[in-house]
Structure 1
Amino acid sequence: MSRSFVYLLYADESGDTGLVASPTRYFILSSLVIHETRWRPFLDDIVAFRRHLRATKGLKLREEIHAAPFITNPGPLVRIKRNDRLDILKQCLDFLGNRSDISICTVVVNKTTKAATYDVFESAWQALIQRFENTVRNRNYPGSYADQRGLLLPDNTDGGKLTALMRRMRHYNPVPNNTSHQALGAGYRNLLLQAIIEDPFLKDSAHSFIHQLVDVVAYAARQLYEPNAYMRSKQGHNFYARLRPVLNTHANRAHALHLVQL
């Protein structure tokens, strides 16, 4: 009897979803996908990497890497020099970029161009979930198995709203036609979720090394659009490109870094 193999998607948000009086112009949603059979080796490598950071930078394993305050408002981590904290973020990106068993995708919502009725949260998550579904079904993630499924593991977010969205997408999920389907006449196809199983399982990034790495990914993506003064002075807009070898090229082939821009 054959069994299904599961890809795990870890996701983290950067910025808020508000359209009025918001401190951010962009909402960023980044994800990292790892196959279940690679999860333990991946975790073991992360632990070894964190021990390296402890030995070389003084960052304890129990201390969270939360990229935005890590740079601008580090609290007790102020004991680590800021240039060393910046180097930690670079090392996190390089650690990911040098792997062959993960895939990274980021959705970016430009809130300044959206109508007051636009649902930033739902639009971003729907775009990410659809690309996760498509990549699993088309067997385009590292490793190829006869029967594949996906499971969402987001950082703490609006779990109720996300669960409702996923359940709806299993029954009604209109997706705009691409050019290869426009001959069908209709502007949309109803592509029901088939490969993603269960409701999302929310986790606290303070207790998840993987989510902390995804947080760094989202922070690096933000520097492409809204770099703070310090990151601008350090060429922060180039950081996301360190991930080029592990970016999901199927997410958006038209963008040089395959970002999904809404």
Structure 2
Amino acid sequence: MYIMYVDESGDPGPYNGQNSPHFILSGLIISIEDWNECVQRLVKFREMIQKAYGLNKREEIHSSEMIRPHKVEAYKRIHKSDRVNIIRLFVAEMCNMFPNGRLINICLDKEHISQSKYSSGMQELAWKRLIQRYDTFLKKNKSKGIIVSDDSSEPTLRRLLRGMRVYNPVESRFGGYHNPVITNVIEDIFYRSSTHSFFIQAVDVIAFCLYRKEYPKGSLKKFGFHLLFDTLDSMCVKEASGRDAQGIVRV
């Protein structure tokens, strides 16, 4: 059995020139057989960060806030170069912390996807893509799985997942067709506050790094943030999209 932890980057609303031009979902897949060891590695990492930089292990790691602190006073007490190093170290340790972990990533460019075509919105479109790829992964591994997310849109996603177990239409550029109904993702999506989950904090960092890869920002390029996601290449489920070298689903 597997658990997929999910977090997002960007907002799901239509692009209006003021909000983010993207919507990203990243899913970190962990086998329950590896779960205890992964937790232990996460705890050891946070203890190391606490000792080296003074960030209490109970303090959430939230990437965008860590780069430019507004609400978290604990971040403000740490020099920016150290906050940057915390994120970089976290990414550098991912493959060691999750040696059998896999990643599924959805990256939607709002300006190139018609809102009229996907009237249900970017969030539902992205989640459909993510759930379908996860279910395919589970079927390939002859296993079942659950989803744990920090997302707050519980009613919408509950309806979506339950509907995909009955009828799973997906429209392609070549015309309408059906994906197999979802059979291996069990239960509704479970919700955890990222404050209380090191796993969701890890996915927050992953989604943030994918965002910086896709939409690099000059002020952060000097820290190499646009290169960090590529260090996770070996964890990516390449089969999720044959159109992308890292399996990133873009349409």
What is the TM-score when the length of structure 1 is the normalising length?
0.87
Instruction: Indicate the residue corresponding to 1:142 in structure 2.
Output: none
Instruction: Indicate the residue corresponding to 1:110 in structure 2.
Output: 109
Instruction: Indicate the residue corresponding to 2:77 in structure 1.
Output: 79
RMSD of the alignment, in Å? 1.9
Instruction: Indicate the residue corresponding to 1:164 in structure 2.
Output: 159
8 A contact 1:11–1:154 mirrored in 2: yes
Instruction: Indicate the residue corresponding to 2:231 in structure 1.
Output: 242
Structure 1 residue runs without a partner (length 5+) = 1-5, 140-146
User: Which secondary structure state, in structure 2, belongs to the residue aligned with residue 10 of structure 1?
Assistant: strand
- After TM superposition, give the deviation of residue 226 of structure 1 in Å: 2.2
Q: How does 1:63-212 map to 2 (within 5 A)?
A: 63-73=59-69, 75-76=72-73, 77-98=75-96, 99-117=98-116, 118=118, 119-139=121-141, 147-175=142-170, 187-212=176-201
Aligned AA (2:3): L
- After TM superposition, give the deviation of residue 35 of structure 1 in Å: 0.8
For the residues of structure 1 that align with 2:223 and 2:24, how far apart are their CA atoms?
21
User: Which secondary structure state, in structure 2, belongs to the residue aligned with residue 261 of structure 1?
Assistant: coil
8 A contact 1:156–1:205 mirrored in 2: no
For the residues of structure 1 that align with 2:104 and 2:91, how far apart are their CA atoms?
14
- After TM superposition, give the deviation of residue 168 of structure 1 in Å: 0.5
User: Which secondary structure state, in structure 2, belongs to the residue aligned with residue 106 of structure 1?
Assistant: strand
8 A contact 1:136–1:149 mirrored in 2: yes
- After TM superposition, give the deviation of residue 187 of structure 1 in Å: 4.8
User: Which secondary structure state, in structure 2, belongs to the residue aligned with residue 54 of structure 1?
Assistant: helix
- After TM superposition, give the deviation of residue 209 of structure 1 in Å: 0.7
Greater displacement, 41-50 / 167-176: 167-176
- After TM superposition, give the deviation of residue 251 of structure 1 in Å: 1.2
- After TM superposition, give the deviation of residue 177 of structure 1 in Å: 8.0
8 A contact 1:97–1:244 mirrored in 2: no
- The runs of at least 4 consecutive aligned structure 1 residues that moved more than 6 Å come to none
Greater displacement, 18-27 / 63-72: 18-27
For the residues of structure 2 that align with 1:156 and 1:235, how far apart are their CA atoms?
28
Aligned AA (1:205): S
Greater displacement, 234-243 / 251-260: 251-260
For the residues of structure 2 that align with 1:132 and 1:7, how far apart are their CA atoms?
10
For the residues of structure 2 that align with 1:253 and 1:93, how far apart are their CA atoms?
25
For the residues of structure 1 that align with 2:172 and 2:246, how far apart are their CA atoms?
23
For the residues of structure 1 that align with 2:92 and 2:34, how far apart are their CA atoms?
19
For the residues of structure 1 that align with 2:15 and 2:7, how far apart are their CA atoms?
22
User: Which secondary structure state, in structure 1, belongs to the residue aligned with residue 145 of structure 2?
Assistant: strand
- After TM superposition, give the deviation of residue 116 of structure 1 in Å: 3.2
- After TM superposition, give the deviation of residue 36 of structure 1 in Å: 1.0
User: Which secondary structure state, in structure 2, belongs to the residue aligned with residue 148 of structure 1?
Assistant: coil
**Is residue 2:55 matched to residue 1:59?**
yes
What is the TM-score when the length of structure 2 is the normalising length?
0.91
Greater displacement, 227-236 / 192-201: 227-236
For the residues of structure 1 that align with 2:203 and 2:85, how far apart are their CA atoms?
16
Residues 1:177 and 1:73: Cα distance change in structure 2 (over 3 Å): closer
8 A contact 2:15–2:111 mirrored in 1: no
8 A contact 2:238–2:245 mirrored in 1: no
Aligned AA (1:114): I
For the residues of structure 2 that align with 1:190 and 1:247, how far apart are their CA atoms?
22
Instruction: Count the aligned residue pairs.
Output: 244
8 A contact 2:15–2:110 mirrored in 1: no
